[in-house]
Amino acid sequence: MKHTHKIRRFAQSLGIKTYKMFNPKYTLSEYERECINISRTLIEKSGTILLMSSISGKRYIKSEDSQVFIVIQSGHISIVNHMYSYDINISDVTYNKIKLMFDDEVEYRRALIEAEIRTNVKHSLYTIYKSLTTEAA
């Protein structure tokens, strides 16, 4: 029973990979691959500034040394440095990959900050409680 399931899953994954290989919608250009790599590298660095506009939906990445800026929007990505600027059209598949990486990192950082805030609140509440119990005694 287990082997049958594994064989079916393997056949299914092989079919999906074959479909994506021959479907032009899933074929990434060399520029799109480089955009994904550059974006992933900057997003994963902890010192990188990530900013998202809720109105326009644009996502901004600023390297920690302020040498590279990236603007990500639907169908388009801009990579700017003090010496060069590249405006690259990207497919929806590429946009969704970069957007997911960006959003996941922003959510991770938000969770870290929220945990830090909760720790500070817990510490402050404990301090208040101790001062109240000391005054009552």
pLDDT 10s digits, 2-45: 788 888 898 898 888 887 777 666 667 788 888 889 899 999 99
Euclidean distance between CA atoms 30 and 70, whole angstroms: 18
Model pLDDT for residues 110-131, shown as the tens digit of each residue: 999 998 888 776 667 777 777 7
Give the sheet arrangement for strand 59-62, strand by strand: 49-52, 59-62, 68-73, 76-81, 85-89
**Distance (Å, whole) CA 41 – CA 86:** 17
- Contact between 78 and 70 (Cβ < 8 Å): yes
pLDDT at 129: 77
Cβ distance 133 to 110 under 8 Å?
A: no
28: enclosing H helix or E strand:
none
pTM for the model: 0.70
